[in-house]
Amino acid sequence: MSTPTRSTPVRPTPGRPVLRIRGVHKSYGPTEVLHGVDLTGRAGEVLAVVGANGAGKSTLIKILAGAERMSAGELQLDGEDVALRSPHDAHTHGIRTVHQELTLVPELSVTENLLMGHFPRRLGGLIDWKAAHRRARDLLDGIGYGAIDPRVKAGRLTVARQQMVEIAKALVSEGGEPKVLVLDEPSAVLAGSDLEALFALIRRLQERGVLIIYVSHRLAEVTELATSIVVIKDGRVVAETTPDRTDENELIRLMAGRPAGQL
């Protein structure tokens, strides 16, 4: 699937630092997979993280999601040290992660997946399904995914539409809009208008000051969307750059350690 052709985007100027990670190490037994990773993300920034398979991207994502604990290092949000001991901790601190693997309950409707645990209720405690479907519809409309019927079971949607519901779920869950939204290969199953909708949503979130950490192997997307790019190789950050200072061939060279023509 190819990236839709668009004119060169106007990239918002990133604001204050929102996320800082310093000297992050992660070991599994005697094997160290992250070797002192440093990373800074700012409000309104699309920070792309790229690297070959096995570079350490997935481990870093799991640490940010609270699914794994770092072995050493520090993490700050809005200038304050935080400890992410669980996904609930990450969620509470405003870090939401949309993993490549789908987590929707296929036998439940889109509304149920979006509002699980937070349904509007009638007197007596019964769920107000009419209000629930209306709220789900408003949420989907508000982020540009209005083509999705909230009454349909999630398992009946295409994989692309399920991915869009996953993103919507991360944005509308309890606690309000995230400070940091981590997207792990979000476009792997998207194309055409669905991909356009994702890009438009990312631009709107940028304007509202959300830090987007965009992990992708699609380098054409990275150079189009990102305001800054971090390249990880063998568990280390080997380069920090911007789209106007690099291109796909240079990113491949940095990721692989040799020119693209030799691969």
Confidence of residue 194 (pLDDT cuts 50, 70, 90): confident
Question: pLDDT: is 128 or 194 the higher one?
Answer: 128
Residue 125 has what pLDDT? Answer: 86
**pLDDT exceeds 90 at position 242:** yes
Rounded Cα gap, residues 40 and 32, in angstroms: 22
Predicted pLDDT at 69: 95
The dotted CATH code for 17-94+178-262 is: 3.40.50.300
pLDDT of 28-39, one tens digit each? 999 999 999 999
Does residue 111 carry a pLDDT above 60? yes
pLDDT single digits (tens) 138-193: 989 988 888 899 999 999 999 989 998 999 988 876 667 899 999 999 888 887 88
pLDDT at 2 over 60: no
pTM listed for this prediction: 0.87
Is pLDDT at 255 greater than 90 in this prediction? yes
Going from N- to C-terminal start, the domains of the chain cover 17-94+178-262, 107-176
Q: What is the mean pLDDT of residues 187-206?
A: 86
Pairing status of strand 31-42 against strand 180-184: unpaired
pLDDT at 12 (0 to 100): 56
Signed CA dihedral, 56, 57, 61, 62: sign only: negative
pLDDT of 112 higher than 50: yes
> For all residues of the chain together, what is the average pLDDT?
89
CA-to-CA separations, 238 to 24, 35, 36, 38, in angstroms, rounded: 14, 11, 11, 10
- Top pLDDT among 96 and 11 is at 96
Q: Give the C-alpha distances (Å, rounded to integers) separating 139 from 175, 189, 256.
A: 15, 22, 41
